[in-house]
Structure formats: structure tokens, C-alpha cells
Amino acid sequence: MYHDGLDIGVPAGTPIIAPAAGRVVRAASNTYGNYVILEHRAGQRVYYSLYGHLKEPSQLRVGENVSPGMQIGRAGSTGQSTGPHLYFETWEGSLSAPCDSSPASDSICFPERPARPEHRPGRTNPLCAFVNEEISLECP
């Protein structure tokens, strides 16, 4: 199945750490298994990061603030998964609307996506751009 994120193979139970300050905007379960979406702000820019296939449902609550280095869950193999790993995705913009965000919904409320990065010459990877505003990092 195609997706815009990364599957990072790690042992089950590996702590998943917030890479930057943010706010929980969704903590639920669907085909990505147990997952959390964080909203990050850098000046006027808004970024989102998704952490999927977490071992247990998140103890974080919508609206809760997270700080860099804070544990947001543990890697698992929940949802549509063939083994323990973290599904990690980032994007810039907003969550899509309208969207059924009820607990029974299988919707993650992804943003209306622009063209993939390879079709946007001169654009910097959004995660790299976000991290670069938090720490000094060379971006492609």
C-alpha cells in the first residue's frame, strides 16, 4: 500500500520520542494501528507528524502539549502491519476538513496534499525545514 511516510523497523517496545515541541491533535486507532498526530508550529508555518503502529493506545490526550524528547509511545505492530515498526510521516499545512474524526471512524483526516516533493522543484523537505528552525541542520 502506498503512503507518504516512512516505515522504520525497530524492535517492539522501542520508545518513540517527540522530535520537537508540539500539541496532540489526534490519538486513535485504525489501519495505522494505534497512532498519534502532533501539530508543530514554527513561526507562521504549521507542520504535522504522525506516529503509527504504536504498541498500546496513547496515554496522550488531544490538546496536550509535548516537549522535545518526550516519549509519545512505544513501537509495535498494531493495525495493518506485518511486524514491529514505526510509521512516521510529516506534512506542512493543515488537517483536511470535513472529516469524520469520531472514534469509530477509520479516517486520519490527512491534509489536502500538494504534489509529491519530487514534483515540486526547489522545495525543501518539510521535516528538514521544520527541524532546521529548531536546530541547525543542513537540508537538501
Per the domain annotation, does 38 fall within a domain?
A: yes
**pLDDT the model gives residue 99:** 47
| 117 within a domain of the structure (yes/no) | no
State residue 5's pLDDT score. 80
According to the model, what pLDDT value does residue 115 have? 42
Residues of the chain with pLDDT under 70: 1-3, 94-140
Using the structure block, give the residue that is written with the C-alpha cell 469520531. Answer: 102
Is residue 139, in this structure, part of any structural domain at all? no
Number of structural domains (the chain) is: 1
The Cα 104–Cα 68 span in angstroms is: 30
- CATH code of the domain covering residue 24: 2.70.70.10
Is 1 within the bounds of a domain? no
* pTM confidence score: 0.71
Q: Could you tell me if residue 118 is inside a domain?
A: no
84 found inside a domain: yes
The answer to whether position 131 is within a domain reads no
pLDDT in tens, 40-49: 998 888 888 9
Instruction: Give residues with Cβ within 8 angstroms of 50, minimum separation 6.
Output: 5, 32, 35, 36, 37, 87, 88, 89, 90, 108
Asked if 39 contacts 17 with a C-beta cutoff of 8 angstroms, the reply is: no
Domain that holds residue 85: 6-112
